[in-house]
Amino acid sequence: MRALVRAGGAGALVLAMTALGPRVSAWSQAPAFDLAPALDRYEQGAAPAAAELSLLAAAASDGRLLSSLRTAGWDWLQAGGPAGIRGRRLILAALVLEAVSTQHDQSGVVSTPVIEWACANLREADPLPAERAWQIATVALMQRGASESDFSVHLFHARMRFEKEPRLLLADAWLQRSWIPNGFRHKDVVWVNPAPYATGEASRIPMLVWSPSGTITSSGNSAPGFSGRENSQYWYFENMGGGQALPPSEEEQHFLTAKDAFRHARGTAAVAAEAELRLGELDLLYAKPKNAFDHFTTALNRTSDRNLRYLAYYLIGQSEERQAQWSAACFYYHKALDANPNGRAAIEAWAGTLERMSLFADAAAMRARATDPVASDPWVAFSRGDLGPVAPLIEQLRKAVR
């Protein structure tokens, strides 16, 4: 059987996973399969085909991959002997990463036990340099497709391995940021934490505007969990909806913890510009648009990255809106679209500002520019604290284990 699978690639993997007699009718009935041939091929530099990755992703979802790691995977590790087991741990973890990345692409979730099994094996020895890419990639995937508690545990493990890695610093700061409640009251002002409700083409990107009357004004977005009344192009929320009022001391602690974490991340050049944007966004939430403006302009001076510059200009526009500087807001939304001509967040924000200026025809023409999917806007990934694409990290690992 093993010789057949070693030679046969993805098709042979199907044979190995179904050569269990009457249990072939459903994968979920097969508790384990022989993973060693796939690991051998990966060790020899053969990247898994799409069909093989789909099989592994399905096995990650129903528990069979974990069973196989504990049996055939464990035996394969031990077969490397004392001299080879360290490298084999990384090879096995790299194949696991490819499986759970495909799983996330297909289902939006990842198998935490599979990732943690591979991570626990890596932690048996000092890290190899290439493990850094694995930890960043799995943290990114768990941030998107796992529970907050599972994500925080894995992030802790990753930072134990690479404490000063910039992307992990930023992920840790974002975790602190995520604990700020969706709805809370600061002094006499009610705020809602902007989160991307991008579930379909009809969805709008949320852009929150401060209302001194103590209500929430959300431009062009009917956020789930809130009830309100529609007035022109804006929604005015009369209650806290899914949010919850907290004692001021707890609010303050959430903000201070998050700000300290982003200040710490700001000291690392690789993520300094993004950390500045995060600090500015916190100031926007805390009704300090002038302070936010300073953070956003500092971020512009620290990066040439197109997406970060788009976000900086967009957020400067938001800070100008908070100060009722409509013309200035339009100027910066224009600058944002110079950086990313199809940015939906900037298009919607600019259109909403034009409507506030009673320029309804101009606003309609602006919205007609919106052709790209909402999910492609960098603001959506930024709102989620996303660490960026996983594919380049997978490729980096493939090269390292060959």
> What confidence score (pLDDT) does residue 251 get?
65
Question: What mean pLDDT comes out for the span 296-320?
Answer: 96
Residues 211 and 322: their CA atoms lie apart, in Å, by 9
- Least confident range from 50-59, 99-108, 117-126, 252-261: namely 252-261
Question: What mean pLDDT comes out for the span 271-286?
Answer: 92
Query: Average model confidence (pLDDT) for the chain?
Result: 79
* Most confidently predicted of 28-32, 92-96, 172-176, 190-194: 92-96
Question: What mean pLDDT comes out for the span 38-57?
Answer: 95
> What confidence score (pLDDT) does residue 194 get?
41
Burial pattern 284-313, b for ≥16 Cβ within 10 A else e, equals bbbebbebbbebbbbbbebbeeebbbbbbb
Question: What mean pLDDT comes out for the span 179-202?
Answer: 43
Residues 29 and 18: their CA atoms lie apart, in Å, by 10
Burial class (CB in 10 A: 0-12, 13-18, 19+), 83: exposed
Contact 237, 253 (CB under 8 A): no
- Find, among 161, 176, 132, 182, the residue nearest to 265 by Cα: 176
pLDDT at 270 exceeding the cut of 60: yes
> What confidence score (pLDDT) does residue 302 get?
94
22 pLDDT tier (thresholds 50, 70, 90): very low
- The more confidently predicted of residues 205 and 281 is 281
Tokens of 19: 């050569």
Question: What mean pLDDT comes out for the span 36-41?
Answer: 95
* Most confidently predicted of 93-102, 225-234, 340-349, 375-384: 93-102
Question: What mean pLDDT comes out for the span 241-269?
Answer: 72
Which SS3 state, helix, strand or coil, does residue 212 take?
coil
Which SS3 state, helix, strand or coil, does residue 218 take?
strand
- Least confident range from 30-34, 137-141, 386-390: namely 30-34
pLDDT at 395 exceeding the cut of 60: yes
Cβ-proximal residues to 58 (8 Å cutoff; 6+ apart), any chain: 27, 103
> What confidence score (pLDDT) does residue 343 get?
93
> What confidence score (pLDDT) does residue 196 get?
36
> What confidence score (pLDDT) does residue 229 get?
29
Q: CA dist 274 to 195, 265, 296, 312, Å?
A: 17, 9, 9, 9
> What confidence score (pLDDT) does residue 295 get?
97
- The more confidently predicted of residues 374 and 332 is 332
Q: Is the pTM of this model over 0.85?
A: no
Contact 19, 5 (CB under 8 A): no
pLDDT at 239 exceeding the cut of 90: no
Task: Give me the percent of the chain exceeding a pLDDT of 70.
Answer: 75
- Find, among 93, 77, 75, the residue nearest to 33 by Cα: 75
Question: What mean pLDDT comes out for the span 34-53?
Answer: 94
- Residue-wise pLDDT tens digits, 116-155: 999 999 999 999 999 999 999 999 999 999 999 999 999 9
Q: In 160-292, at which residue ranges do the beta strands (DSSP E only) sit?
A: 183-186, 189-192, 208-210, 216-219, 228-231, 234-237
Dihedral sign computed on CA atoms, order 348, 353, 358, 359:
negative
- Least confident range from 7-16, 18-27, 55-64, 146-155: namely 18-27
**Domain layout of the chain by residue ranges:** 2-163+389-401, 183-237
Residues 68 and 206: their CA atoms lie apart, in Å, by 44
87 pLDDT tier (thresholds 50, 70, 90): very high
- Find, among 374, 377, 348, the residue nearest to 363 by Cα: 348
370 pLDDT tier (thresholds 50, 70, 90): confident
